[in-house]
Structures are given as C-alpha cells and as structure tokens.
Structure 1
Amino acid sequence: RNLKLLAFVPEGWMTWTANKPLRTPADFEGLRIRTMTSDMAAATFRAYGAEPQQTPFSQVYSDLQLNKIDAQTNPVFAIEEMDFYEVQSTLTVARPAQFISSVVTNGDWYKGLPETQQRWLDNALREVAEVAWKAQERLNQARLESMVEAGQLEVVQLNDDERAAFAQASRQVREDYVAATGERGREILKRIQQLVDSLEQATADEAG
C-alpha cells in the first residue's frame, strides 16, 4: 500500500473491566467481552472460555449499561475517558499486552525528503517513543486514581502466578497466528521470544 511505518508509541497496559474480578481463566467462562476488531484478540479471550464481541467502540458504554456485554478491555486512559468505570464495578490489571499506536506515513512522501530530514524524523520519533513510555505511566496512574476517587471501582492487581495461568491458557493462540501468517509469522514469533528471553535475562542480571 506504499506506506512506511515510522514508529511504535506505547500508551499503556491493556486492562479488563467487568462486574467481578477476573483472576483466573475460569472467571472468563461464558463472559461476553468486547474486544477490538482483531482475530487474534478474539482468539485469546476464546481460549480463556469467554465469548468475544467485536462491538463498535462508540457503543460499548451503552452495551455495558444494558447488559448486552459483560466486560471490555482497554488501557486505563481509555476506560476513564469513555466513563466505562460508571457501568463496571471492577478493573483487573493483568498486563496481558501493551496498547500500541503506530506512526505511519505515505512512502513516497518519506522517500522525497532529503536524507538529512529523514534522519531528523527518525531520531525524533525514537525520542518520542522513550518520552511517551514515561509519560503514559504517569498519565495512566493519574487516570486510575481519578476513577477510584470518583466512585466504587475496585482495582485488582494480578500476581505473577495468576498472570502465568493466563499466559499458559493463551499459548494455543500462537498456533492460530502461525496458521494465519505462515512461515513468516513463525519467524516473527521466534524473534519476539528471543527478545523477551534477552530482556528477562538482563533484568535478572540487574536484580542479582
């Protein structure tokens, strides 16, 4: 499509809201949860036992209020901005994935820039991603505190063992991804796992 990906910008961890804590995959059994329009996201929640619904974003509040759906998943700032906490009692912080924005431009426009300006743009966006990572932590924490102060929202933080149970339950979805993307998808998963392993080892070395 002649598009050029310039950067990824992190905006915070995805969280879950419902009218109960979601501590185990069993808590998702039969749960009608709204997900983004993503086959992989739907497959993940289906692996937990949920019934994913790809409801339009503008319709989520009313569907939660009318009990047409039972739960939804979004980063904290989006939950606060859309007032979902008014119609859901519990926010579960499971850190299943980051909410990531992408910065994309017309490929011809980028190629038409002088090389100096291309470097300026590339360097600036790398700096933006680092700044955004720190800024989103402050923003999401402030939004979380605002929601708690505004009403009866209960916040549940999953521990490492609880998160591991979800990770195990969703492992089968990797094969769904490979089936959809072929050998290239398998190589992407392999590379991601290598990066995760390297980061975990570096973190362990720092802690030790």
Structure 2
Amino acid sequence: MKKVVLGTIAAAMLATSSFAADYVMKISHVVSDNTPKGMAANFLEKRIEELTGGKIDVQVFPNSQLYGDADEMKALAMNNVQLIMPSLSKFPSIVPQIQLFDLPFLFRDKEHLYKVMDGEVGAKLKSFVDAKKQMKAFDYWDAGFKHFSSSKQAIINPDDAKGQKFRIQSSKVLEEQIKAIGGSPQILPFSEVYSALQQGVVDATENPLSNLWTKKFHEVQSSLTLSNHGYLGYLVVMNQKFWDKLPKDLQEKVSQAMKEATEFERKATEEDDAKIMTELKKYADESKRLEIYELTPEQVANWRKVMEEVYPKFYNVIGEDLIKKAIETK
C-alpha cells in the first residue's frame, strides 16, 4: 500500500514539474552516463534548468535508450528529440567539409585544435551545418586524439605500417591516410573490432585512449604508439524549430549553459585520458604484454611530412582555403 501511495505522489510531482515547464527538451546520446560526454549531458540538463528557473524541462536519455547511433540524426530532424551530440563522422554525408577533422597530423596539439574549433574554421563548418535548416550547431565536444596500436609491429615510423591491416571507420580521408603509409584499410563496425584484432582479421587500429581502454583493445595488441595523429570528436546540435520557438532570454540561458557544459566536457576528457594512461602504463608494467611508445619531435615531423600528401586529395571536398586556414591558425 505504501509503495502505491509513494508511486502516486512521485507521479503527481513529475506531472506538476512537467506542467510547470514551458518547454521540454529531450537529449539523446549513445554512451553511458559515466563517460565525459554522458557526464556533460547531465551537467547541461542541470544548468539549463537552473538558469531558466525550470522553464525548460530537460530530459536526458543515455545509452541509446531512445535512438541508436544510426537513427538519432533523423530523430533530431523530425524534432522527436531536441538535442544530440553525434560523432563528427556522422556529418560528412550532409557537410563533406567536416572531414577536415579526419585529416592526419593536422593539429599540432590540443591548444591548436581548440583554436581551430572555436575560431574562424570551426565557425565556418558550423555554418554549413546550420544551412541545412533542420539543425543548429552549437559546440564541439571531445573524445580525444587517436593513437596507433598493433599486434604485428610497433608503428613508430611510417614505414612500420607497411603491409599491416588497419581497422578504420568509414571515411575516405582515413582510407587515404592508411594507404599513404603502405597499410591496408579495413572498414569494420566498432562492435567487431575486438574479435577482429583477437583473430588476426586486422593487425592494427587507431583509437582515442578511452576507446582503447574501455573496449580492452590493449589486451589484444602488443604495442601502443602515442601518436596523436588524428582526432575524434562530437558536434552538439539542436533541432532548429525548437531553438526558434525559444524566447530570446531563454536562448541566451541555453547558450550560457552550453558554453559551461563544453568547458566541463573537455576538462572531463582530459582528466579521463590521464587516468587511463596511468592504468595502461600499470597494465604494461605488470603484464609485459604491451609496449607503449612516445614519438620524438623529429619522428612527428617525419609523420607530418608523409601525411600532408593526403591533404591535396581533399582540396575539392573540404576546401583548400579551409585546410590552410586550419594549419595556419595560431
């Protein structure tokens, strides 16, 4: 009886809360709550509700509870959800220029990356997304830099990649990246990567530390090179019609909350990477099954020289001016 009463009270409170809100914003994402992206989504929920005094009721649905990776973009366009943060790899079909983020060794370091994202180049790319009319682009969130790992031969110099089979995401840029170093690109779903590495279907892969660690790829790879050669990130986008319906004062509050959430997410990713690196080094020391390599400045320069040959192949797709502006960003 007590459970029924408590359930009734909870339902009434929820109904009152929803009734009090002028707008309901559903946020859908495909990762768990304890990832940097998941934590930032929860942070965003809290801050929007605080700043708007509850006028916007934000509801977060993690772990593909509403929509999976393949469906969330369509759900946003139909306004079935109001905010998502897909990986940048989901955008090339509508904005080919966003493949700029796939170009290898384009970013000198994280400071350079953020200046590109938050500056003229990042704004231009977001304007291409906005032009599609169905969505409004906000900020870029982090998954981190990618690193090479292998079970065949440590990838320290470009020549080390020759003959190795690399698992990659579906991306013309990434295909050309692997071909440039003599490797064989193999497109595989992320869910199949562990077994493919374990069985020798592929020899090597590229991942940010979070993917490498959480999916236990380090257990089926003998070497990890901290190459920072590529980038994996997200773009936070909102349904345009929902945004347009918000009064200007609420738009300003949402924008403020978004800015704070972006800072939170990027910091959380950096902290997560540091923790994972500590665990990976511990694993390497104890298991003796994994070697971790860091590139010297000279080795990085050599990699960049080889990989820059990929850029001209995408001048017509991404834009020569955009690539050069990214490189020259200070």
Structure 1 and Structure 2 fold alike (TM over 0.5): yes
In structure 1, what is the equivalent of residue 92 of structure 2?
A: none
In structure 2, what is the equivalent of residue 166 of structure 1?
A: 303
The one-letter code matched in structure 1 to 2:233 is I
Q: Distance in 2 between matches of 1:188 and 1:73?
A: 25
Q: Distance in 2 between matches of 1:110 and 1:176?
A: 37
Q: Distance in 2 between matches of 1:157 and 1:133?
A: 23
Q: Distance in 2 between matches of 1:172 and 1:5?
A: 31
In structure 1, what is the equivalent of residue 145 of structure 2?
A: 13
Displacement after TM superposition at 1:106 (Å) = 1.3
Q: Distance in 1 between matches of 2:170 and 2:254?
A: 31
Q: Distance in 2 between matches of 1:36 and 1:84?
A: 16
Residue among 173, 193, 201 paired with 2:327: 193
Is 1:116 the counterpart of 2:249? The answer is: yes
Superposed CA offset, 1:108-148 (max 9, x none): 11122111222222222222222322221221121122233
Check the 8 A contact 1:48/1:166 in 2, yes or no: no
In structure 2, what is the equivalent of residue 60 of structure 1?
A: 193
Q: Secondary structure at the match of 1:59?
A: helix
Q: Secondary structure at the match of 2:229?
A: coil
Question: Taking CA–CA contacts closer than 8 Å with sequence separation of 6 or more, which of the two structures ends up with the larger relative contact order?
Answer: 1
Give aligned pairs, total.
193
The one-letter code matched in structure 1 to 2:139 is A
Farther off after superposition, 135-144 or 117-126: 117-126
Unaligned runs of 5+ in 2: 1-131
Give the 4+ runs in structure 1 shifted more than 4 A: none
In structure 2, what is the equivalent of residue 22 of structure 1?
A: 155
Unaligned runs of 5+ in 1: 199-208
Farther off after superposition, 69-78 or 41-50: 41-50
In structure 1, what is the equivalent of residue 136 of structure 2?
A: 4
Is 1:137 the counterpart of 2:270? The answer is: yes
Displacement after TM superposition at 1:84 (Å) = 0.5
Check the 8 A contact 1:11/1:132 in 2, yes or no: no
In structure 2, what is the equivalent of residue 203 of structure 1?
A: none
Superposed CA offset, 1:57-111 (max 9, x none): 0000001011010001110011111110110011110111232111112111112
Higher radius of gyration, 1 or 2: 2
Q: Distance in 2 between matches of 1:120 and 1:98?
A: 30
Q: Distance in 2 between matches of 1:36 and 1:79?
A: 14
Q: Distance in 1 between matches of 2:239 and 2:150?
A: 40
In structure 2, what is the equivalent of residue 153 of structure 1?
A: 290
Superposed CA offset, 1:125-183 (max 9, x none): 222222322221221121122233333322111111111111111112111111334xx
Farther off after superposition, 24-33 or 101-110: 101-110
Q: Distance in 1 between matches of 2:311 and 2:177?
A: 9
Between the aligned residues of both structures, percent identity stands at 25
Is 1:33 the counterpart of 2:166? The answer is: yes
